[in-house]
Each structure stands twice: as C-alpha cells, then as structure tokens.
Amino acid sequence: MTWQQRIDAALDARRAAEALRVRTPVENGAGRFLTCDQRRYSNFSSNDYLGLSQHPALIRAWQQGAEQYGVGSGGSGHVSGYTRAHQALEEQLADWLGYPRALLFISGFAANQALIAALTGKDDRIVADRLSHASLLEAASHSPAQLRRFAHNDAAQLASLLDKPCEGQQLVVTEGIFSMDGDSAPLVDIHAVARRQGSWLLVDDAHGIGVTGPEGRGSAAHLGVKPELLVVTFGKGVGISGAAVLCSDPVADYLLQFARHLIYSTSMPPAQAVALLAAFNLIRSDEGEARRQRLSALISQFRAGVSGLPLEITASQSAIQPLIVGENARALHLAQILREKGIWVTAIRPPTVPAGTARLRLTLTAAHEAADITALLEALHVASE
C-alpha cells in the first residue's frame, strides 16, 4: 500500500462511518452568539464557561501586555522566553491553588504529554480512568510504562489494579470534570485509594478551574483534595489559552530538566500571561462569583427542562450537558436541525467518544440568558419528535 493509498483508505473509512471531522470557519466562535456566513446562531458549543473571552478588562490587559512586551516571547523559557509576567502568573497560581510551584505550558495537551513522558519509566504503571482525555491516554500509551484503565469513576476497580505487583511507581490519572460526559470524578475516594498504595494522583481539571470550588479553584479544592499533580488549563473557564502544572518544588525542578514539551517549545506570549493574571483576578472577585452563580442557575434551568424530553442525559451538574444519541447519523441529523433553527451545537462522534455513544455536546456559559435556554429546549423538543 502506497502512502496515498493508506491516506485514502483511512479517509474513506471515516466517511463510511459518518465520522469524518471537518472545520467550519466562523466570524466569532466564543461568547453567547456565533456568526457564520453572515448568520447569527445561539452558541452552545463554546467552552468559554464564564464568558470571559470577550471581557473588556481581559482585552485591555492583553493590549497593555503587548505594548510592554510585544506580541511574542521570542523563545523557550529556558533561553529568553521567561519574563516577569510569566513569573508573576506562576507565583499567583501556586499561591492561589495551594502548591509550592506552578509551571506554565503552551497548552493542556502539552502539559499532560510532558508530565507523563518525563515522570514514567518502563517499570512503572499508569492506571487511568478509561474516559480520560486523549492527551492523557495517548501520553500513557506512548510511555514505556504499563497502562491499565479502570472503569469510569470506579474507585474499587482502581484499588484492585493498584494492588497488583509493580516493580516501579504507580501513577493514577483522571479528570476533575470529564470533557465529554460532564460528570465529576470521585476525587476523595480516588485519592484515598492512591495514597494507600503509595501512588501519586494526576488530576486534569481543565473543565473545573475557574468554574467550580471556592473562588473557582476547581474540582479538587471543591472536594478538599490535593493531588500530587494538578493540571489546570486556561482555554475553558478562564477564557484564554495555555495551561499550568501545579506541583512540589522538587517535581518542578525535575520538570524543568526533563519535560521536553517545556524545554523545546516557545513559551506563551508575555502579553497572554498579563491577560491571564487579569483573568484570575476577575475569577476570584465578586464578579467571578456572580458569573459562577449565574451559570449554575442556567444549568439548573436546562436540566429541569430537558428531563421531560425523549433524550438521554448524563449525571452532569457542570456546564457540559451532553445528550447521548447513539448513532453517528442521528447525531449529525439533530445537530443540523438545530442549526437550521439558529442554534449552533456540535455532534461528537467516535473515536472522540466510545462507539455507540455519539452525542450532542451542549455547553452552557454565563454569557447566556434564560431566554437562550428556553429557545434551546424548544428546539430540542421539535428536533427529537
């Protein structure tokens, strides 16, 4: 099989399964509304949970940062790309989240890949929730460590896997809030199991930071858990992009030596770090709390209204409210009906989610109004008939 034949066969298989991914250029993809081809849609596909991506204070902070530092960092943080803005953001994050150190990464995907690649060796074992994000599972499968997966949120099965003999160290991996199901990990139980076996816990809280817990400190803080490794990302509730790893001093020093994604990548623009500082100040403020309360009220409104429809929902209490459809074709059809009614919703299909669980991944944000939720529910009622 030639290169071209291999590529054509893979694409043909995706098309046959109605699982081919495509991109649609939009004028604005975050916020309450999305504009595409000069038509405005109610946007229920954005991860901008607190509606901060359009916030004037964050826009001004980025502009001021660009005026001071320029628009790029100029290199890796190990060379010349680590500025006072980066240092201030790391220090604020560490203090706020209760860890000795924070290290910035260009993305959550890079942070997860770097952590697992740098920490694990051939004698080690990674035990991951089977629904963990692709960045975690891919890194684990590519590492020399043994990978075992436990049933979703099943602390008892996790314990049985950790009980099996292991020559090296064991790393437990999970998310705080799961990106496709929207439900939360039982972090108290999972951390207790991990600690009994002397294992470390890595929690990716991409969808919890800024949105849940006291001051928006995330899922772990909400449950009073302090995992040994905490990954927070800035492209969801924080409204920007990038990520950080929260850890101990020795782990931070170790990652600075051995985390290749950190060492060999250009660091985020300093202006972005300035904007992120402004974002976290806002998240911790009274306005941030008001936005979280508003989001919570919208989630309650949606769940109360959707419960009467012939659609399968998950146990999610988060901003992620998936409707499980099953077949790829039906998910695509429902998404198209909703778009015809002016509502932008994305159909998520395998391999992003398990086979047979294609879904509409609805995301609510603090930028929405109660009337938007009512319109969404009315459209879902018509689409599901």
Taking only the tens place, the pLDDT of each residue in 64-108 is: 999 999 999 999 999 999 999 999 999 999 999 999 999 999 999
Please pick, among 53, 73, 112, 179, the residue that the annotation labels catalytic.
Answer: 179
SS (H, E, C) 153-207: CCHHHHHHHHCCCCCCCEEEEEECECCCCCCECCHHHHHHHHHHCCCEEEEECCC
Residue among 376, 322, 373 nearest 349 (CA)? 322
The band of 14, judged by pLDDT with boundaries at 50, 70 and 90, is very high
236 classed as catalytic: yes
Could you identify the residue written with the tokens 């995907």? 109
| pLDDT, the chain, mean | 95
> Mind listing the domains of the chain with CATH numbers?
23-49+285-383 (3.90.1150.10), 57-283 (3.40.640.10)
Please pick, among 133, 191, 222, 368, the residue that the annotation labels catalytic.
Answer: 133
Rounded Cα–Cα distance for residues 86 and 243 (Å): 12
Q: Would you state the structure tokens that stand for residue 69, as one six-digit string?
A: 């530092």
Q: Does the structure show a pLDDT above 90 at 384?
A: no
Rounded Cα–Cα distance for residues 321 and 363 (Å): 6
- Predicted pLDDT of residue 308: 79
pLDDT over 90, % of the chain: 86
Please pick, among 55, 207, 222, 261, the residue that the annotation labels catalytic.
Answer: 207
133 classed as catalytic: yes
Helices (H) and strands (E) in the chain, counts: 14, 14
Rounded Cα–Cα distance for residues 195 and 192 (Å): 5
- Predicted pLDDT of residue 310: 81
Could you identify the residue written with the tokens 């060379």? 79
- Predicted pLDDT of residue 307: 85
175 classed as catalytic: yes
pTM value is: 0.94
DSSP 76-88: -TTTT---HHHHH
Please pick, among 124, 175, 205, 372, the residue that the annotation labels catalytic.
Answer: 175
Average pLDDT in the 165-181 region? 96
Q: Does the structure show a pLDDT above 90 at 60?
A: yes
369 classed as catalytic: no
Residue among 277, 202, 295, 292 nearest 240 (CA)? 277
204 classed as catalytic: yes
Please pick, among 48, 124, 183, 204, the residue that the annotation labels catalytic.
Answer: 204
Please pick, among 47, 53, 107, 316, the residue that the annotation labels catalytic.
Answer: 47
179 classed as catalytic: yes
| Weakest-pLDDT range from 2-6, 17-21, 77-81, 83-87 | 17-21
- Predicted pLDDT of residue 85: 98
Rounded Cα–Cα distance for residues 259 and 189 (Å): 29
- Predicted pLDDT of residue 30: 84
